[in-house]
Structure formats: C-alpha cells, structure tokens
Structure 1
Amino acid sequence: MAGFGASAAFADTATDAWPSKPVRLVVPFPASGATDLISRVIAQRVSQDLSQQFVVDNKPGAGGTIGAAEAVKAAPDGATLLFTTSSTHAISPHLMSRLSYHVEQDFTPIAHVADAASVLLVTPSLPVKNVQELIAYAKANPGKLNYASSGNGTIVHLNALEFAARSGVKLTHVPYKGTAQSITDLAAGQVHLLFDSIPTGMPHVTSGRLKALAVTSLQRSSLAPDLPTIAESGLPGYSSVTWFGVYGPAGMKPELVAKINAAFNKAIQNPEVASALAKLGAEPAKAGTPAQFQSMVKADSARWAKVIKDNHITLD
C-alpha cells in the first residue's frame, strides 16, 4: 500500500507540475501550411497562458500519417502532443490499409480546437444562382458537370462525392496537383465546381472570377456570413468541416488530460485567437471535453469511411 501511495503521489505531482518543461507539439504537415499556421496561433496563446514554451515540430509526409506515427512513440507525460486534423484520424485510416498506428488504441484524445469549412464554388458561366438550381441543372444534364479537386482522397474530393451522393447527381472528377491551376480552370469554365477553403476561394468571388453558392458547415460561417449552408439550401444535415485537434499518446493519466484540455479550451476562447484563426479560414471550436472530442471524431470517421468505401477509393 505504501508503494501504491507513493506512486499515486508522484503521478499527482507530475500532473500538477505540467508543463514543467517546454512542450513539443508535433504537427504532421509542412511549415507555413494551414495546419501549421493554425497550430502556431493556438500554441502561442497556450504558451502565454501557462508561461511555458510550446515548440511546433513539423513532421510532414504521407498525408500527415508520418507525423502522427511519430507522436505515438512519445511518453504519456504531456511533454509531446500531436496537433492534427481529420485527415490523419478520420480519413487516412480508410484510405491506407497499412498505417503504423491505430486511432482508437494509440492516441489519447485531448481537445477539439478549431474547424474550417469549405465553400462551394462554380464557374461564372454556369446558369445557377444557388444549390437547388445547381442540383436541378445537374439532373437535367446528367454527366455534363465535372468538379476539380486537389487529389484523390482529399477533403475536397470527398466533399464533392458526398454532395453528389446526397443530391443524386452525377459529377465527373478532375484531380489536380494543387489549388492554383484548378481555380484558373474553374474561372475559365474548363471545370464547373470546386469545394475550396474560404480564404482561398472568396477573393475570387469578390473579384467576380467565380460564384459562391454555399458553405459546407452545418451553421453559417462567420467568415462568409451572407452565404447559406448546403444544409439549408436543399440537403438537410449536410455538414463537412476540417477539424483540428490535440492528441497525446495512449496511456495518459485522466487528470493530466483534463489539465491540458482546460489549457487549450481557455486558449480558443480568447478573442485574439478567434481573430487570428479567421484570417486562416478557421473558427474556434466550442470548448468541450475529451470524450466529446472522441465522439465527434468517431462520427466523422464513420461518415468518411462510407464515402470512401462506396466510391472504392484507396491510396495503397
């Protein structure tokens, strides 16, 4: 009993002391990309609140799965955390059969910190003004419309597939290696539709090069408040965002998880953080518990698993 008491006291002390040293925040995507920039905004706020450094460590590659696998190897003491997105935990597990990690078994969910909706863009020459007209046009012209994406299995690709399935229309996929050329071709009418990030797409709408029909979030986005959601435009329940969250390795003490969760929840409620995230096309998540985060990820994963399976997509 004495040994157990000493062990428990040590664990409590370790939790109370966190963060007693700089925290490594593994970001499994390249420096200067959206996830990296969002992670730095939030990490800086947490660092200021806790008077401790949070050091972003970019480990990009294979759609984020290399960095995610790296974070799994860390000790469960809160010294190394993973800042990731739906890509590594809700999408890639269904695209890659040989991942070196298991989402449920190898990670401790800590905090859901931000979301980024997409905007449905169409070429200006398409004779539609809203989602209902787009669906009607696509049904009247089966197989005529195509859509651009940034590659197989990306959120841009999956958004379009789910939209087509829910609306009962047939769309042809035109994959690109990046967004720039797809925007150019969309403006020229070479492709007809594109789901893009709000900060990337909306300047082209403002300039008149493209038309925006709706956003993909369930609620209207503060980043484009005049745009309706797809859900309110004829496809009830349609909702798709890229979420951003914090994980630790498996085996973390619940008390430590709660403390880290509280730190990130405090950070995302800061108005300066919300303002900085808006410039990056993201919005703070509603402060919640690790269990709520885990439940959200499970639902998101199940949704994308169906889309990926129904369309026979693989990156193996």
Structure 2
Amino acid sequence: MHRRHFLASMAALAATGAAPIVRAQAYPTQSIRWVVPYPAGGGTDVLARTLAETLRVPLGQPIVVDNRPGAATNIGADAVARSAPDGYTLMSADNAALAFNEYLFAKLPYDPQKDFTYIGGIARFPLALVVSPNFPAKDVKEFLAYAAAHPDEVNYASPGNGSPHHLAMELFKNRTGAKVTHVPYRGAAPAMTDVMAGQVHCMFLDLAAGLSLMQTGKVKVLAIGSTTRSKMLPDVPTLAEAGVPDVEVFAFQGLLGPAKMPADVVKRLNEELNRSFDAPAVVKRFADFGMEPLRGSPDDFRKFARAEAERWGPIIKATGVKLD
C-alpha cells in the first residue's frame, strides 16, 4: 500500500513537471591549492601563507601553498591557466604575470586578460632603493655620483628577471642614466642575503620582504618608490624628494583562478578574501610589511591590473628590456 502511494505521488509530480530537488554540497568540499609563482621565503610566499591560514577557517578546508617559481612567474601562471576552473586551484598574481610579461615576452603561454578569473586584489606595497651597509653612498645623489664615476662596476640584485624589482631598477636607470648591471636571483631571500653581505651592491627591495632589514640597518635605504613617505620608514625620502621624479614603483598582489570559474564560487572567495583583511593576523602582517590592502570586487582588481599594464607598457618599451 505504501509503495503504491509513493508511486502515485511520483506520477503526480511528473505530471506537473516537478522533480525532486537534489542540492549539491556547498563549495568547498576538498582542499584548495594556492600556487605561488616564487620560491618559499619571499614576501609573496609569506603573504600567501598568512592568508591561506586565515581563509582556512571560514572555508572549512585546508589551503595548501604550492611554490612554482620560474620564467618570470610564467611557469606558475601557465599551470593555473590550464587547471580545471572549479575553484580548487588559485594563484597569487603580481605585476609580472598581469602587467609586465605581455611586453617582456614575444609570446606568452597564457593571455592575462582571457585565461584567468579575477577574484580580488590582495595588497600593494612600495619598493625601496637599498644598498649594502658598506656601500659608499648615504643618499640617492651620492649613489648616482658613485655609479657615474664607476660605470658598469655597480651591480644590482633582483628576485628574478621580469620581477617588479627588476623593472623598478630599469626604470630608475632610464630616468637617471645610471649604468648598473643586473644580477638576477631565484627569489628575494638569496638576493637580499648577497646585498647584505656586499656581494651585490644594491637592489629595489619590497617592504614585504625587507622591512626588518631596513629598520635594523642590515641594508641602507636611500629612497622609497611611492608618491608619499612610508609610515614604516618616515625618515626615508621618496624618489621624487631625492631628485628622481616620475618613478613610482610598487609591487601588487591579487588572487586569480583559471578562466570560467563558477560565479558563486568567485563571489564566495571574494567576500572571504575581503573579510580576511580584518583578521588580526592579517592586519599585523600588513602592518609589518607596510602594505595597503586592495579591497574590492573582482572587476575592481581586473581594472587595477589592466591600468598597471597600460602604465608599464611604454616604460618597458623605453627601457628595451626583453626576456626571450
């Protein structure tokens, strides 16, 4: 009797076009991979790990950081672009992937505008011109004078070809005529180590990786590449104040996934990312790094990254830097 009643009920539902509701489990239901296209230990990596640990709680799943360095972030970016757009592969993307590489490489394995889902901005943080503790210059004017007196003898480090730090120095060279030679490293940590030791003379260093070194005198800070002085380094002049105008240089970070991610997943990730900026651990990390959070919608971050690409395109062409 019960079976006949059930079948009759199902027949009635079918007759009205209705169907039983089957609800999918809410995202996420498994661990998430967060690709960092730089080696472990640098500012990008530390920031990603801080955010991953913070986001783990509201998302209810582990977030595993996967360092995929190399080729000016192209290795990591290409891996993410080719991943399934299900929300389980994300990436920290910076100036290199979203603003520089399309001008530095004749052909990219991805299209920064078409092959990613923009989830939200993370942060922007200025770069500072630093020199080794024993370098014979206490300000930008003396640095330029020394470089002019020793052409091609001064060298500078960067975390790698195509990094914001690399392009910052090339812009500085373009504006000042300084003849300094690039020594690329695999990540910020070894580059900083050799600058501190005097093996390399100088570099543009982001506050995320090197603020403590600057504050403790392990490197000398000559100027900061922002339009205003940093609250973390109030005695350090801007490049404009030091006599080098029109050189605003900063790194930025944002969160991406592969193209065509589900809208509801993007919305959830964007909301949780913006909310994470108020978490005590993240607030402290941003303060320690001298960072400014990039709050906003996915479209806000897309527009920001595109504006940076359009700003840097002519600059890169003027410097003549190519990576292939």
Band the TM-score falls in, shorter-chain normalisation: 0.7 to 0.9
1:61 paired to 2:74? no
SS in 2 for 1:24: strand
Deviation sequence 1:238-266 (CA, Å, 0-9, x none): 32221111111111244432221111011
Change (3 A) 1:87 1:282: farther
1:315 paired to 2:323? yes
Q: Please report how far the alpha carbon of residue 61 of structure 1 lies from its aligned counterpart in structure 2 after TM superposition.
A: 2.8
Task: Determine the C-alpha separation between the residues in 2 that align with 1:209 and 1:23.
Answer: 37
Matched with 2:108 is: 99
Task: Determine the C-alpha separation between the residues in 2 that align with 1:140 and 1:74.
Answer: 49
Task: Determine the C-alpha separation between the residues in 2 that align with 1:29 and 1:303.
Answer: 24
Matched with 1:293 is: 301
CA RMSD of aligned residues (A): 3.3
What residue identity is the alignment partner of 1:171? K
SS in 2 for 1:272: helix
Indicate the larger mover: 69-78 or 171-180. Answer: 171-180
Change (3 A) 1:165 1:60: closer
Task: Determine the C-alpha separation between the residues in 2 that align with 1:109 and 1:128.
Answer: 42
Indicate the larger mover: 38-47 or 220-229. Answer: 220-229
Change (3 A) 1:209 1:83: closer
What residue identity is the alignment partner of 1:81? L
8 Å Cα contact 2:155-2:180 kept in structure 1? yes
Between the two proteins, the alignment pairs up a number of residues equal to 298
Task: Determine the C-alpha separation between the residues in 2 that align with 1:159 and 1:49.
Answer: 37
With normalisation by structure 1, the TM-score equals 0.79
Q: Please report how far the alpha carbon of residue 95 of structure 1 lies from its aligned counterpart in structure 2 after TM superposition.
A: 2.1
Task: Determine the C-alpha separation between the residues in 2 that align with 1:201 and 1:273.
Answer: 18
With normalisation by structure 2, the TM-score equals 0.77
SS in 2 for 1:274: helix
What residue identity is the alignment partner of 1:309? K
What residue identity is the alignment partner of 1:113? I
Deviation sequence 1:177-218 (CA, Å, 0-9, x none): 4422233337xxx84x43223366555555556532222233
8 Å Cα contact 2:50-2:281 kept in structure 1? no
SS in 1 for 2:28: coil
Structure 1's unaligned 5+ residue stretches are 1-5
Matches within 5 A, 1:111-260: 111-122=120-131, 126=136, 128-129=138-139, 131=140, 133=141, 137=145, 143=151, 146-150=154-158, 152-166=161-175, 168-177=176-185, 178-179=190-191, 180-185=193-198, 191=201, 193-198=202-207, 201=210, 205=214, 210-235=219-244, 238-260=247-269
Q: Please report how far the alpha carbon of residue 107 of structure 1 lies from its aligned counterpart in structure 2 after TM superposition.
A: 0.5
Structure 2's unaligned 5+ residue stretches are 1-17
Q: Please report how far the alpha carbon of residue 278 of structure 1 lies from its aligned counterpart in structure 2 after TM superposition.
A: 4.4
Matched with 1:3 is: none
8 Å Cα contact 1:111-1:247 kept in structure 2? yes
What residue identity is the alignment partner of 1:283? M
Matched with 1:108 is: 117
Task: Determine the C-alpha separation between the residues in 1 that align with 2:216 and 2:264.
Answer: 51
Identity of aligned residues (%): 31
8 Å Cα contact 2:148-2:178 kept in structure 1? no
Instruction: Give the structure with higher Rg (CA).
Output: 2
Q: Please report how far the alpha carbon of residue 103 of structure 1 lies from its aligned counterpart in structure 2 after TM superposition.
A: 0.6
1:28 to 16, 22, 37: 37
Change (3 A) 1:113 1:266: same
Change (3 A) 1:171 1:269: farther
SS in 2 for 1:82: strand
Task: Determine the C-alpha separation between the residues in 2 that align with 1:36 and 1:302.
Answer: 26
Task: Determine the C-alpha separation between the residues in 1 that align with 2:65 and 2:137.
Answer: 46
1:73 paired to 2:82? yes
